[in-house]
């Protein structure tokens, strides 16, 4: 970390910064430039951030050089983390296909989608029982009944289940039924929820926030890891930009940066990123080629009757063709199917 002092900073102000750093166990090296004096800090970035040095008089700004996360940092934990979701595994060097309905609407609909996922060769079933919706007038999910349907789907297909949890007091319930807990985009910085899932033993799929930087995303993962749960799968699902022709902008560069910076697996959800099924297959292929550790897509037997995000859902036969193609591509690129 580097502290840039204001032009008019006094010696006493410079010394106060250096002292605060030393008290926290760090070292401070002062370089006096023609215009600015800068202070280089040696020690732990996460600790220095807690000092709130930017508030001190005479400080112009703080420049972060090290990374603020520790437990999820690849620099500190070079070995890749492999996350087990039931019998499936997600991790670097592998490729894991996740598929299922956006929302669980009925036992029949979910079961059809689950069978389609199984038949296509997917390893994990996705499906939402609790749905976060922009409008209070939209379908909000079946709740607990949806969880029971998902469990029945697992029973039938053998696929482990990942499903979203929306609030801290539902974590225990959802963890009882699901194999992995999903934290949705809108909740990436719902810190109470992050702490709660961090206290469980269940793997967590953490979606990137719509306007979260990669660093903020990893800091959100740090909240979970810090509570003792390191079974975290990161999921890139598009960020918000000015471009209106796709629902969001899929940031595969950000995905690749997350892989460089963290030992956690990083997967991609092209369905929610694009919002339109015609773009799901090209972006899924791109994700695999860019090195994503997995891909998650929506499937529905009759997208025209879907209660949530129908336009982005693949039909069972389309899912089958895509999964086959992605598995071939991943294999050709030296990846093991997870």
Q: Is 36 in the site for a copy of itself (CB under 8 A)?
A: yes
Q: How far is residue 18 CA from its own chain's centroid?
A: 37
* Binding positions for a copy of itself, 77-106, rule CB under 8 A: none
Q: Is 211 in the site for a copy of itself (CB under 8 A)?
A: yes
Number of residues that bind a copy of itself (CB under 8 A): 105
Residue 322 beta carbon to a copy of itself: minimum distance, rounded to whole angstroms:
12
Applying CB under 8 A, among 23, 55, 78, 201 the residue interacting with a copy of itself is 55
Closer residue to a copy of itself (CB): 151 or 256: 256
Of the candidates 331, 323, 332, the one whose C-alpha atom is nearest the C-alpha of residue 124 is 323
Half-sphere exposure of 152 (CA within 13 A, CB side): 15
State the Cα–Cα distance between residues 51 and 36, nearest whole angstrom: 21
* Binding positions for a copy of itself, 106-145, rule CB under 8 A: 132-139
- Look at residue 42 and give its three-state secondary structure: strand
Of the candidates 186, 183, 163, 187, the one whose C-alpha atom is nearest the C-alpha of residue 173 is 163
Longest CA pairwise span in the chain (Å):
73
Applying CB under 8 A, among 166, 235, 264, 296 the residue interacting with a copy of itself is 166
Q: Is 295 in the site for a copy of itself (CB under 8 A)?
A: no
280-290 helix and 316-332 helix, angle to the nearest 10 degrees: 20
* Binding positions for a copy of itself, 314-333, rule CB under 8 A: 329, 332-333
* Binding positions for a copy of itself, 181-200, rule CB under 8 A: 186-187, 189-193
Half-sphere exposure of 330 (CA within 13 A, CB side): 24
Residue 155 beta carbon to a copy of itself: minimum distance, rounded to whole angstroms:
28
Residue 216 beta carbon to a copy of itself: minimum distance, rounded to whole angstroms:
6
- Stretch binding a copy of itself (CB under 8 A), from 82-90, 108-116, 145-153, 253-261: 253-261
* Binding positions for a copy of itself, 217-236, rule CB under 8 A: 219, 222-223, 226
Q: Per-residue DSSP letters for 226-246?
A: HTT---EEEEE--B--S--SS
């Amino acid at each position: 970390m580097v502290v840039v002092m204001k032009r008019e900073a006094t010696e006493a102000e410079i010394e106060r910064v250096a002292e605060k750093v030393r008290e926290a166990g760090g070292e401070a090296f002062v370089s006096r430039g023609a215009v600015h004096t800068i202070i280089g800090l040696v020690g732990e970035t996460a600790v220095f951030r807690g000092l709130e040095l930017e508030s001190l008089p005479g400080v112009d700004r703080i420049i972060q050089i090290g990374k603020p996360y520790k437990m999820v940092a690849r620099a500190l934990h070079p070995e890749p983390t492999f996350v087990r979701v039931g019998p499936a595994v997600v991790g670097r060097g592998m490729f894991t296909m996740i598929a299922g309905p956006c929302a669980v609407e009925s036992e029949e609909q979910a079961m059809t989608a689950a069978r389609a996922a199984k038949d296509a060769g997917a390893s994990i079933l996705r499906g939402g029982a609790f749905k976060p919706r922009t409008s209070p007038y939209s379908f909000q999910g079946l709740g607990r009944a949806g969880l029971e349907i998902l469990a029945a789907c697992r029973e039938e297909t053998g696929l482990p289940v990942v499903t979203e949890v929306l609030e801290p007091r539902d974590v225990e319930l959802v963890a009882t039924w699901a194999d992995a807990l999903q934290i949705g985009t809108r909740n990436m910085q719902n810190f109470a929820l992050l702490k709660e899932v961090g206290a469980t033993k269940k793997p967590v799929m953490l979606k990137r926030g719509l306007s979260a930087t990669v660093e903020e995303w990893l800091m959100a993962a740090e909240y979970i890891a810090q509570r003792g749960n390191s079974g975290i799968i990161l999921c890139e699902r598009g960020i918000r930009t000015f471009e209106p022709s796709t629902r969001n902008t899929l940031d595969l560069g950000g995905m690749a940066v997350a892989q460089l910076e963290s030992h956690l697996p990083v997967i991609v959800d092209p369905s929610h990123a694009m919002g339109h099924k015609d773009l799901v297959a090209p972006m899924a292929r791109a994700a695999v080629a860019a090195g994503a550790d997995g891909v998650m897509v929506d499937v529905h037997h009759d997208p025209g009757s879907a209660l949530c995000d129908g336009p982005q859902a693949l039909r069972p036969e389309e899912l089958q063709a895509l999964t086959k193609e992605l598995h071939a591509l991943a294999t050709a690129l030296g990846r093991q199917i997870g």
